[in-house]
C-alpha cells in the first residue's frame, strides 16, 4: 500500500515531566529546550506546524496546598545548576522521537490516510 502524500510537515506535542524541584519560570526554560531535541532527529519547524511544548514538576505539592494565612515554602534548584536538566530534556526528546519511529506500526488515520511503519529490516541493515 502506498503512503498518502502530505503537503504539510505535521505537528508535535511534547510534555516534559520531572520530580526535580523547579519554579514556574524554570519549567518554561526547560520547555524551550524541546525544539533542540526535535532538531537532533532532523526535525524542523514549519509555518503550518502546531507544535505544543509543556513542562511541569511534581515537586513541592505542599506549597500550593498550604493553609490560609500562612506563608508557603518551596524548594527549588538554583538557576546556576539547571544546565544538566537542559541536556536531559534535549536527550529525552530525541530518544522519545527515535523510540516512536522505531516502535511504530502501519497506521490508517482519518479519511483513509495511510502511513507505513519504518521498515525495521532496513533500519537494522542500515544502522544496526
Catalytic residue among 11, 79, 81, 106: 11
Catalytic residue among 19, 48, 51, 57: 51
* Catalytic annotation present for 51: yes
* Catalytic annotation present for 111: no
Catalytic residue among 48, 49, 79, 83: 49
* Catalytic annotation present for 49: yes
Where b means 16+ CB within 10 Å and e means fewer, 36-74 reads ebbeeeebeeeeeeeeebebebebbeeeeeeeeeeeeee
Of how many residues is the chain composed? 128
Catalytically active residues are 11, 49, 51
Amino acid at each position: 500500500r502506498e503512503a498518502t502524500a502530505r503537503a504539510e510537515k505535521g505537528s508535535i506535542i511534547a510534555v516534559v515531566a520531572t520530580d526535580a524541584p523547579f519554579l514556574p519560570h524554570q519549567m518554561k526554560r526547560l520547555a524551550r529546550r524541546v525544539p533542540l531535541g526535535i532538531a537532533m532527529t532532523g526535525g524542523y519547524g514549519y509555518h503550518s506546524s502546531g507544535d505544543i511544548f509543556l513542562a511541569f514538576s511534581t515537586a513541592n505539592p505542599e506549597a500550593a496546598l498550604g493553609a490560609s494565612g500562612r506563608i508557603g515554602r518551596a524548594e527549588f534548584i538554583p538557576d546556576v545548576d539547571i544546565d544538566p536538566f537542559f541536556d536531559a530534556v534535549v536527550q529525552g526528546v530525541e530518544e522519545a522521537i527515535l523510540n516512536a519511529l522505531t516502535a511504530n506500526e502501519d497506521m490508517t488515520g482519518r479519511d483513509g490516510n495511510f502511513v507505513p511503519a519504518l521498515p525495521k529490516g532496513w533500519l537494522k541493515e542500515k544502522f544496526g
